[in-house]
Structure 1
Amino acid sequence: MVLQNRAKATRGAIIIGAAAVFEEHGYGSASLTQVSEAAGVTKGALYFHFQSKEDLARAVIEDQHRIVLAESESILNEDRPGLTAMIILCRAFGLQLLHEPVVRAGIRLTFEATAFGPPVRGPYEDWIAVMEQLTERAKTELQIRLSVDAAAFARYIVASFTGVQMVSGVLTGRADVMQRIEEMWGILLPGIMHENFHEDPRALSRLISAAIPSPAQSPTVPAP
Protein backbone atom coordinates (compact mmCIF):
# COMPACT_ATOMS: atom_id res chain seq x y z
CA MET A 1 0.00 0.00 0.00
CA VAL A 2 2.88 2.39 0.85
CA LEU A 3 4.53 1.71 -2.50
CA GLN A 4 1.19 2.15 -4.25
CA ASN A 5 0.61 5.51 -2.59
CA ARG A 6 4.15 6.60 -3.41
CA ALA A 7 3.71 5.64 -7.06
CA LYS A 8 0.42 7.53 -7.18
CA ALA A 9 2.04 10.62 -5.65
CA THR A 10 4.93 10.42 -8.12
CA ARG A 11 2.54 10.13 -11.06
CA GLY A 12 0.59 13.13 -9.79
CA ALA A 13 3.79 15.18 -9.41
CA ILE A 14 4.82 14.29 -12.96
CA ILE A 15 1.46 15.43 -14.36
CA ILE A 16 1.68 18.72 -12.45
CA GLY A 17 5.24 19.27 -13.64
CA ALA A 18 4.26 18.37 -17.21
CA ALA A 19 1.34 20.80 -17.05
CA ALA A 20 3.68 23.64 -16.10
CA VAL A 21 6.05 22.79 -18.96
CA PHE A 22 3.35 22.24 -21.59
CA GLU A 23 1.57 25.44 -20.61
CA GLU A 24 4.75 27.51 -20.92
CA HIS A 25 6.40 25.88 -23.93
CA GLY A 26 3.67 24.01 -25.79
CA TYR A 27 3.84 20.40 -26.90
CA GLY A 28 6.40 20.84 -29.67
CA SER A 29 9.01 22.67 -27.60
CA ALA A 30 8.56 20.78 -24.33
CA SER A 31 11.07 18.09 -23.41
CA LEU A 32 10.89 15.21 -20.97
CA THR A 33 14.04 16.55 -19.32
CA GLN A 34 12.18 19.76 -18.54
CA VAL A 35 9.25 17.75 -17.20
CA SER A 36 11.42 15.61 -14.92
CA GLU A 37 13.12 18.73 -13.56
CA ALA A 38 9.79 20.53 -13.00
CA ALA A 39 8.33 17.45 -11.30
CA GLY A 40 11.43 16.82 -9.20
CA VAL A 41 11.74 13.19 -10.33
CA THR A 42 14.35 11.19 -12.17
CA LYS A 43 14.05 10.34 -15.84
CA GLY A 44 13.71 6.70 -14.78
CA ALA A 45 10.71 7.49 -12.59
CA LEU A 46 9.14 9.49 -15.40
CA TYR A 47 9.56 6.65 -17.93
CA PHE A 48 8.18 4.15 -15.40
CA HIS A 49 4.85 6.01 -15.54
CA PHE A 50 4.88 7.44 -19.09
CA GLN A 51 6.62 5.90 -22.08
CA SER A 52 6.60 9.02 -24.25
CA LYS A 53 5.82 12.72 -24.40
CA GLU A 54 2.61 11.83 -26.22
CA ASP A 55 1.49 9.58 -23.34
CA LEU A 56 2.23 12.39 -20.91
CA ALA A 57 0.32 14.98 -22.96
CA ARG A 58 -2.71 12.71 -23.12
CA ALA A 59 -2.51 12.15 -19.36
CA VAL A 60 -2.57 15.92 -18.78
CA ILE A 61 -5.61 16.27 -21.06
CA GLU A 62 -7.37 13.41 -19.24
CA ASP A 63 -6.61 14.98 -15.85
CA GLN A 64 -7.87 18.34 -17.07
CA HIS A 65 -11.09 16.72 -18.27
CA ARG A 66 -11.48 14.91 -14.93
CA ILE A 67 -11.10 18.17 -12.97
CA VAL A 68 -13.65 19.99 -15.14
CA LEU A 69 -16.14 17.09 -15.03
CA ALA A 70 -15.93 16.84 -11.24
CA GLU A 71 -16.71 20.53 -10.85
CA SER A 72 -19.51 20.31 -13.43
CA GLU A 73 -21.13 17.37 -11.67
CA SER A 74 -20.98 19.22 -8.37
CA ILE A 75 -22.79 22.22 -9.88
CA LEU A 76 -25.36 20.08 -11.70
CA ASN A 77 -26.14 18.19 -8.49
CA GLU A 78 -27.17 21.47 -6.85
CA ASP A 79 -30.40 21.36 -8.90
CA ARG A 80 -30.38 24.99 -9.98
CA PRO A 81 -32.55 26.37 -12.80
CA GLY A 82 -31.09 25.57 -16.20
CA LEU A 83 -29.96 29.04 -17.25
CA THR A 84 -28.43 29.78 -13.85
CA ALA A 85 -26.53 26.49 -13.95
CA MET A 86 -25.13 27.31 -17.41
CA ILE A 87 -23.79 30.64 -16.21
CA ILE A 88 -22.29 29.18 -13.03
CA LEU A 89 -20.63 26.41 -15.06
CA CYS A 90 -18.90 29.07 -17.15
CA ARG A 91 -17.89 30.85 -13.96
CA ALA A 92 -16.38 27.65 -12.55
CA PHE A 93 -14.46 26.95 -15.76
CA GLY A 94 -13.13 30.51 -15.80
CA LEU A 95 -11.89 30.17 -12.21
CA GLN A 96 -10.23 26.87 -13.08
CA LEU A 97 -8.38 28.59 -15.92
CA LEU A 98 -7.09 31.11 -13.39
CA HIS A 99 -6.16 28.71 -10.60
CA GLU A 100 -5.60 25.22 -12.07
CA PRO A 101 -2.35 24.82 -14.09
CA VAL A 102 -3.45 21.36 -15.28
CA VAL A 103 -6.63 22.86 -16.75
CA ARG A 104 -4.69 25.60 -18.57
CA ALA A 105 -2.18 23.08 -19.93
CA GLY A 106 -4.91 20.65 -20.94
CA ILE A 107 -6.74 23.34 -22.88
CA ARG A 108 -3.55 24.32 -24.70
CA LEU A 109 -2.81 20.70 -25.54
CA THR A 110 -6.28 20.13 -27.00
CA PHE A 111 -5.47 22.83 -29.55
CA GLU A 112 -2.08 21.27 -30.28
CA ALA A 113 -3.28 17.66 -30.33
CA THR A 114 -2.74 17.24 -34.07
CA ALA A 115 0.99 17.40 -33.29
CA PHE A 116 0.76 14.03 -31.52
CA GLY A 117 -2.43 12.41 -32.77
CA PRO A 118 -6.00 13.01 -33.90
CA PRO A 119 -7.92 16.06 -32.65
CA VAL A 120 -9.21 15.82 -29.07
CA ARG A 121 -13.00 15.99 -29.35
CA GLY A 122 -14.25 14.35 -26.15
CA PRO A 123 -14.06 17.28 -23.70
CA TYR A 124 -15.83 19.61 -26.14
CA GLU A 125 -18.49 17.07 -27.04
CA ASP A 126 -19.20 16.41 -23.35
CA TRP A 127 -19.45 20.12 -22.56
CA ILE A 128 -21.75 20.76 -25.53
CA ALA A 129 -23.99 17.87 -24.44
CA VAL A 130 -24.30 19.29 -20.91
CA MET A 131 -25.08 22.77 -22.22
CA GLU A 132 -27.71 21.35 -24.59
CA GLN A 133 -29.43 19.53 -21.72
CA LEU A 134 -29.39 22.68 -19.59
CA THR A 135 -30.77 24.74 -22.46
CA GLU A 136 -33.67 22.30 -22.84
CA ARG A 137 -34.27 22.50 -19.09
CA ALA A 138 -34.22 26.30 -19.20
CA LYS A 139 -36.77 26.24 -22.02
CA THR A 140 -39.16 24.07 -20.02
CA GLU A 141 -38.63 26.43 -17.07
CA LEU A 142 -39.48 29.37 -19.35
CA GLN A 143 -36.12 31.02 -18.79
CA ILE A 144 -35.02 30.66 -22.41
CA ARG A 145 -37.23 31.33 -25.43
CA LEU A 146 -38.89 28.21 -26.82
CA SER A 147 -37.70 29.17 -30.30
CA VAL A 148 -34.03 28.76 -29.32
CA ASP A 149 -32.46 25.66 -30.86
CA ALA A 150 -30.86 23.93 -27.86
CA ALA A 151 -28.16 22.08 -29.82
CA ALA A 152 -27.15 25.16 -31.81
CA PHE A 153 -27.09 27.35 -28.70
CA ALA A 154 -24.97 24.80 -26.81
CA ARG A 155 -22.40 24.75 -29.61
CA TYR A 156 -22.43 28.55 -29.74
CA ILE A 157 -21.87 28.94 -25.99
CA VAL A 158 -18.93 26.52 -25.99
CA ALA A 159 -17.41 28.19 -29.05
CA SER A 160 -17.95 31.67 -27.59
CA PHE A 161 -16.43 30.75 -24.24
CA THR A 162 -13.45 29.11 -25.95
CA GLY A 163 -12.83 32.20 -28.06
CA VAL A 164 -13.28 34.60 -25.15
CA GLN A 165 -10.78 32.81 -22.93
CA MET A 166 -8.28 32.42 -25.79
CA VAL A 167 -8.34 36.13 -26.63
CA SER A 168 -8.09 36.96 -22.92
CA GLY A 169 -5.06 34.67 -22.72
CA VAL A 170 -3.36 36.38 -25.65
CA LEU A 171 -4.09 39.96 -24.57
CA THR A 172 -3.81 39.81 -20.77
CA GLY A 173 -2.62 36.32 -19.81
CA ARG A 174 -6.24 35.71 -18.73
CA ALA A 175 -6.06 38.45 -16.09
CA ASP A 176 -9.42 39.77 -17.34
CA VAL A 177 -11.00 36.43 -18.25
CA MET A 178 -13.83 36.64 -15.69
CA GLN A 179 -14.78 40.13 -16.88
CA ARG A 180 -14.79 38.96 -20.49
CA ILE A 181 -16.98 35.92 -19.65
CA GLU A 182 -19.40 38.22 -17.83
CA GLU A 183 -19.53 40.49 -20.89
CA MET A 184 -20.22 37.47 -23.10
CA TRP A 185 -23.30 36.54 -21.07
CA GLY A 186 -24.37 40.18 -20.81
CA ILE A 187 -24.53 40.33 -24.61
CA LEU A 188 -26.21 36.94 -25.07
CA LEU A 189 -28.89 36.99 -22.41
CA PRO A 190 -31.25 39.73 -23.73
CA GLY A 191 -31.60 37.85 -27.01
CA ILE A 192 -32.44 34.43 -25.55
CA MET A 193 -34.43 35.10 -22.36
CA HIS A 194 -38.10 34.08 -22.36
CA GLU A 195 -40.53 36.99 -22.45
CA ASN A 196 -42.13 35.77 -19.21
CA PHE A 197 -38.80 35.54 -17.39
CA HIS A 198 -38.33 38.96 -15.85
CA GLU A 199 -34.93 38.57 -14.21
CA ASP A 200 -32.52 41.42 -14.97
CA PRO A 201 -30.00 40.13 -17.58
CA ARG A 202 -27.29 42.23 -15.93
CA ALA A 203 -27.93 40.55 -12.58
CA LEU A 204 -27.67 37.14 -14.20
CA SER A 205 -24.44 37.95 -16.02
CA ARG A 206 -22.98 39.25 -12.75
CA LEU A 207 -23.17 35.68 -11.40
CA ILE A 208 -19.80 35.29 -13.14
CA SER A 209 -18.09 37.68 -10.75
CA ALA A 210 -20.45 37.94 -7.77
CA ALA A 211 -20.86 35.64 -4.79
CA ILE A 212 -22.92 32.65 -5.88
CA PRO A 213 -26.31 32.37 -4.13
CA SER A 214 -27.51 29.06 -2.77
CA PRO A 215 -29.87 27.05 -5.04
CA ALA A 216 -32.80 28.28 -2.96
CA GLN A 217 -31.80 31.87 -3.72
CA SER A 218 -31.33 31.35 -7.46
CA PRO A 219 -33.52 33.38 -9.83
CA THR A 220 -37.04 32.06 -9.73
CA VAL A 221 -38.65 30.11 -12.52
CA PRO A 222 -41.99 31.55 -13.69
CA ALA A 223 -44.98 29.27 -13.69
CA PRO A 224 -45.86 27.88 -17.15
Structure 2
Amino acid sequence: MTQPRASARRDEITRAAAAEFDEVGYAAASLSSIAARLGKTKGAMSYHFSSKASLAREVVEAQYRQWEDVLSGIRTDGYSGLDAMILLAFAVAQRFRDDVLVRAGIRLQHDAGLHGVDLPTPFVSWMSVTRDLLAEANANGELQPVLDLEGAAEVLVEAFTGVQQVAHRLTRAQDIHGRVQRYWTLMLPGLGVTDPVERVARLAQQSEAY
Protein backbone atom coordinates (compact mmCIF):
# COMPACT_ATOMS: atom_id res chain seq x y z
CA MET A 1 0.00 0.00 0.00
CA THR A 2 1.45 3.39 -0.97
CA GLN A 3 2.19 5.89 1.80
CA PRO A 4 -0.66 8.35 1.00
CA ARG A 5 -3.17 5.50 0.75
CA ALA A 6 -1.90 3.92 3.95
CA SER A 7 -2.10 7.24 5.77
CA ALA A 8 -5.64 7.86 4.52
CA ARG A 9 -6.72 4.37 5.56
CA ARG A 10 -5.14 4.81 8.98
CA ASP A 11 -6.99 8.10 9.45
CA GLU A 12 -10.26 6.44 8.35
CA ILE A 13 -9.80 3.66 10.92
CA THR A 14 -8.87 6.17 13.64
CA ARG A 15 -12.04 8.19 13.03
CA ALA A 16 -14.22 5.05 13.03
CA ALA A 17 -12.63 4.02 16.32
CA ALA A 18 -13.21 7.51 17.71
CA ALA A 19 -16.90 7.31 16.83
CA GLU A 20 -17.19 3.96 18.58
CA PHE A 21 -15.30 5.06 21.69
CA ASP A 22 -17.34 8.28 21.86
CA GLU A 23 -20.61 6.36 21.62
CA VAL A 24 -20.03 3.39 23.91
CA GLY A 25 -16.76 3.98 25.79
CA TYR A 26 -13.56 1.95 25.82
CA ALA A 27 -14.82 -1.14 27.64
CA ALA A 28 -17.83 -1.74 25.37
CA ALA A 29 -16.01 -1.02 22.11
CA SER A 30 -14.38 -3.87 20.20
CA LEU A 31 -12.27 -4.30 17.11
CA SER A 32 -15.22 -6.09 15.53
CA SER A 33 -17.60 -3.20 16.16
CA ILE A 34 -15.07 -0.69 14.84
CA ALA A 35 -14.50 -2.83 11.74
CA ALA A 36 -18.26 -3.02 11.22
CA ARG A 37 -18.44 0.79 11.11
CA LEU A 38 -15.94 0.67 8.25
CA GLY A 39 -17.56 -2.28 6.49
CA LYS A 40 -14.25 -4.15 6.91
CA THR A 41 -12.98 -7.18 8.76
CA LYS A 42 -10.72 -7.09 11.81
CA GLY A 43 -7.99 -8.55 9.62
CA ALA A 44 -8.15 -5.57 7.31
CA MET A 45 -7.42 -3.27 10.26
CA SER A 46 -4.59 -5.35 11.71
CA TYR A 47 -2.06 -3.94 9.21
CA HIS A 48 -2.49 -0.56 10.90
CA PHE A 49 -3.51 -1.37 14.49
CA SER A 50 -2.84 -4.59 16.36
CA SER A 51 -5.20 -4.02 19.29
CA LYS A 52 -8.01 -1.92 20.70
CA ALA A 53 -5.48 -0.33 23.07
CA SER A 54 -3.27 0.81 20.17
CA LEU A 55 -6.32 2.37 18.52
CA ALA A 56 -7.24 4.18 21.73
CA ARG A 57 -3.73 5.59 22.01
CA GLU A 58 -3.83 6.85 18.41
CA VAL A 59 -7.19 8.56 18.98
CA VAL A 60 -5.84 10.34 22.07
CA GLU A 61 -2.58 11.37 20.38
CA ALA A 62 -4.41 12.57 17.24
CA GLN A 63 -6.62 14.73 19.45
CA TYR A 64 -3.58 16.28 21.13
CA ARG A 65 -1.82 16.96 17.82
CA GLN A 66 -4.51 19.44 16.81
CA TRP A 67 -3.83 21.95 19.56
CA GLU A 68 -0.28 22.93 18.66
CA ASP A 69 -1.51 24.05 15.22
CA VAL A 70 -4.50 25.88 16.73
CA LEU A 71 -2.34 27.80 19.20
CA SER A 72 0.19 28.54 16.46
CA GLY A 73 -2.60 30.06 14.35
CA ILE A 74 -3.78 32.16 17.28
CA ARG A 75 -0.25 33.47 17.85
CA THR A 76 0.25 34.14 14.15
CA ASP A 77 -2.81 36.38 14.30
CA GLY A 78 -1.10 38.44 17.00
CA TYR A 79 -2.76 37.20 20.18
CA SER A 80 -0.81 36.48 23.36
CA GLY A 81 -1.34 36.03 27.10
CA LEU A 82 -4.93 36.02 28.30
CA ASP A 83 -6.44 36.64 24.86
CA ALA A 84 -4.58 33.65 23.41
CA MET A 85 -5.69 31.48 26.34
CA ILE A 86 -9.32 32.50 26.00
CA LEU A 87 -9.33 31.93 22.23
CA LEU A 88 -7.73 28.51 22.69
CA ALA A 89 -10.40 27.54 25.22
CA PHE A 90 -13.18 28.52 22.82
CA ALA A 91 -11.48 26.55 20.01
CA VAL A 92 -11.21 23.46 22.21
CA ALA A 93 -14.86 23.77 23.22
CA GLN A 94 -16.05 24.17 19.64
CA ARG A 95 -14.11 21.11 18.49
CA PHE A 96 -15.33 19.15 21.50
CA ARG A 97 -18.86 19.93 20.31
CA ASP A 98 -18.27 19.26 16.61
CA ASP A 99 -15.41 16.75 16.26
CA VAL A 100 -15.87 13.15 17.38
CA LEU A 101 -12.09 12.68 17.48
CA VAL A 102 -11.77 15.36 20.18
CA ARG A 103 -14.69 14.03 22.23
CA ALA A 104 -13.40 10.46 22.02
CA GLY A 105 -9.86 11.46 22.92
CA ILE A 106 -11.10 13.23 26.04
CA ARG A 107 -13.47 10.40 27.00
CA LEU A 108 -10.75 7.80 26.60
CA GLN A 109 -8.48 9.59 29.02
CA HIS A 110 -11.26 9.44 31.59
CA ASP A 111 -12.16 5.76 31.20
CA ALA A 112 -9.48 3.82 29.30
CA GLY A 113 -7.01 4.22 32.15
CA LEU A 114 -9.35 2.17 34.30
CA HIS A 115 -8.64 -0.76 31.99
CA GLY A 116 -4.85 -0.53 32.07
CA VAL A 117 -4.42 1.22 28.73
CA ASP A 118 -1.16 3.15 28.41
CA LEU A 119 -2.26 6.68 27.52
CA PRO A 120 -0.70 10.11 28.12
CA THR A 121 -1.53 11.38 31.61
CA PRO A 122 -4.57 13.65 31.23
CA PHE A 123 -4.56 17.35 32.10
CA VAL A 124 -0.79 17.70 32.58
CA SER A 125 -0.04 19.15 29.15
CA TRP A 126 -3.01 21.54 29.40
CA MET A 127 -1.82 22.75 32.78
CA SER A 128 1.61 23.40 31.28
CA VAL A 129 0.17 25.34 28.31
CA THR A 130 -2.11 27.32 30.61
CA ARG A 131 0.72 28.16 32.99
CA ASP A 132 2.89 29.38 30.09
CA LEU A 133 0.10 31.63 28.82
CA LEU A 134 -0.53 32.94 32.33
CA ALA A 135 3.18 33.70 32.69
CA GLU A 136 3.03 35.59 29.41
CA ALA A 137 -0.04 37.50 30.60
CA ASN A 138 1.76 38.28 33.85
CA ALA A 139 4.74 39.67 31.94
CA ASN A 140 2.28 41.80 29.94
CA GLY A 141 0.89 43.26 33.18
CA GLU A 142 -2.53 41.63 32.71
CA LEU A 143 -2.67 39.75 36.04
CA GLN A 144 -2.62 40.43 39.75
CA PRO A 145 1.09 40.65 40.61
CA VAL A 146 0.84 38.18 43.52
CA LEU A 147 -1.06 35.51 41.58
CA ASP A 148 0.07 31.89 42.08
CA LEU A 149 0.49 30.95 38.41
CA GLU A 150 0.87 27.22 39.03
CA GLY A 151 -2.22 27.07 41.22
CA ALA A 152 -4.22 29.28 38.86
CA ALA A 153 -3.35 27.05 35.89
CA GLU A 154 -4.55 23.97 37.76
CA VAL A 155 -7.83 25.59 38.82
CA LEU A 156 -8.54 26.85 35.29
CA VAL A 157 -7.98 23.40 33.77
CA GLU A 158 -9.98 21.67 36.50
CA ALA A 159 -12.93 24.02 36.07
CA PHE A 160 -12.80 23.90 32.26
CA THR A 161 -12.87 20.09 32.38
CA GLY A 162 -16.06 20.37 34.39
CA VAL A 163 -17.58 22.74 31.84
CA GLN A 164 -16.94 20.20 29.08
CA GLN A 165 -18.34 17.26 30.99
CA VAL A 166 -21.48 19.03 32.19
CA ALA A 167 -22.19 20.41 28.71
CA HIS A 168 -21.71 16.96 27.17
CA ARG A 169 -23.97 15.19 29.64
CA LEU A 170 -26.76 17.77 29.60
CA THR A 171 -26.91 18.97 25.99
CA ARG A 172 -24.36 16.94 23.99
CA ALA A 173 -22.30 20.17 24.23
CA GLN A 174 -24.65 22.11 21.96
CA ASP A 175 -24.56 25.04 24.40
CA ILE A 176 -20.86 24.81 25.25
CA HIS A 177 -19.97 28.10 23.54
CA GLY A 178 -22.21 30.01 25.96
CA ARG A 179 -20.93 27.98 28.90
CA VAL A 180 -17.33 28.85 28.05
CA GLN A 181 -18.26 32.51 27.72
CA ARG A 182 -19.79 32.40 31.19
CA TYR A 183 -16.76 30.48 32.54
CA TRP A 184 -14.34 33.20 31.45
CA THR A 185 -16.60 36.03 32.56
CA LEU A 186 -16.55 34.54 36.06
CA MET A 187 -12.90 33.43 36.10
CA LEU A 188 -11.16 36.54 34.78
CA PRO A 189 -11.89 38.77 37.80
CA GLY A 190 -10.03 36.25 39.94
CA LEU A 191 -7.01 36.74 37.68
CA GLY A 192 -7.15 40.52 38.02
CA VAL A 193 -9.31 41.50 35.02
CA THR A 194 -11.80 44.03 36.32
CA ASP A 195 -14.22 44.29 33.37
CA PRO A 196 -14.24 41.00 31.48
CA VAL A 197 -17.66 41.04 29.81
CA GLU A 198 -16.82 43.00 26.65
CA ARG A 199 -13.44 41.28 26.27
CA VAL A 200 -14.91 37.78 26.52
CA ALA A 201 -17.77 38.61 24.13
CA ARG A 202 -15.32 39.97 21.56
CA LEU A 203 -13.03 36.94 21.78
CA ALA A 204 -16.01 34.57 21.66
CA GLN A 205 -16.85 35.98 18.23
CA GLN A 206 -13.27 35.94 17.01
CA SER A 207 -12.75 32.35 18.16
CA GLU A 208 -14.87 30.98 15.32
CA ALA A 209 -11.88 31.44 13.03
CA TYR A 210 -10.09 28.61 14.85
Whether TM-score is above 0.5 comes out as: yes
Instruction: For residue 212 of structure 1, report the CA deviation from its aligned partner.
Output: 4.7
Separation (CA, whole Å) in 1 of partners of 2:167 and 2:208:
27
Return 169-178 or 19-28, whichever deviates more: 169-178
Larger radius of gyration: 1
Identity %: 35
Which residue in 2 is equivalent to 1:170?
Answer: 169
Q: TM-score, normalised by structure 2?
A: 0.91
Q: Could you tell me which amino acid in structure 2 is paired with residue 210 of structure 1?
A: Q
CA contact 1:20–1:105 (8 Å) conserved in 2: yes
Separation (CA, whole Å) in 2 of partners of 1:58 and 1:118:
7
Which residue in 2 is equivalent to 1:204?
Answer: 199
Runs of 4+ in 1 over 4 A off after TM superposition: none
Instruction: Tell whether 2:128 aligns with 1:133.
Output: no
- Within 5 Å, give how 1:1-224 maps onto structure 2: 3-114=2-113, 115-118=115-118, 120-121=120-121, 124-193=123-192, 200-207=195-202, 209-212=204-207
Instruction: For residue 131 of structure 1, report the CA deviation from its aligned partner.
Output: 1.0
CA contact 2:96–2:103 (8 Å) conserved in 1: yes
Instruction: For residue 113 of structure 1, report the CA deviation from its aligned partner.
Output: 2.5
Cα pair distance change 1:178/1:37, threshold 3 Å: same
CA contact 1:165–1:177 (8 Å) conserved in 2: yes
> Residues 190-211 of structure 1: CA distance to partner in whole angstroms, max 9, x if unpaired?
22225xxx7x310122245323
Instruction: For residue 147 of structure 1, report the CA deviation from its aligned partner.
Output: 1.2
Q: 5+ residue gaps in structure 1?
A: 215-224
Q: TM-score, normalised by structure 1?
A: 0.86
CA contact 1:81–1:141 (8 Å) conserved in 2: no
Q: 5+ residue gaps in structure 2?
A: none
Separation (CA, whole Å) in 1 of partners of 2:203 and 2:42:
42
Separation (CA, whole Å) in 1 of partners of 2:9 and 2:116:
24
CA contact 2:91–2:207 (8 Å) conserved in 1: no
> Residues 11-42 of structure 1: CA distance to partner in whole angstroms, max 9, x if unpaired?
11000100000000000001111111213333
Separation (CA, whole Å) in 1 of partners of 2:152 and 2:80:
17
CA RMSD across the alignment: 2.0
Cα pair distance change 1:75/1:7, threshold 3 Å: same
CA contact 1:145–1:192 (8 Å) conserved in 2: yes
Separation (CA, whole Å) in 2 of partners of 1:62 and 1:81:
25
Q: Could you tell me which amino acid in structure 1 is paired with residue 117 of structure 2?
A: G
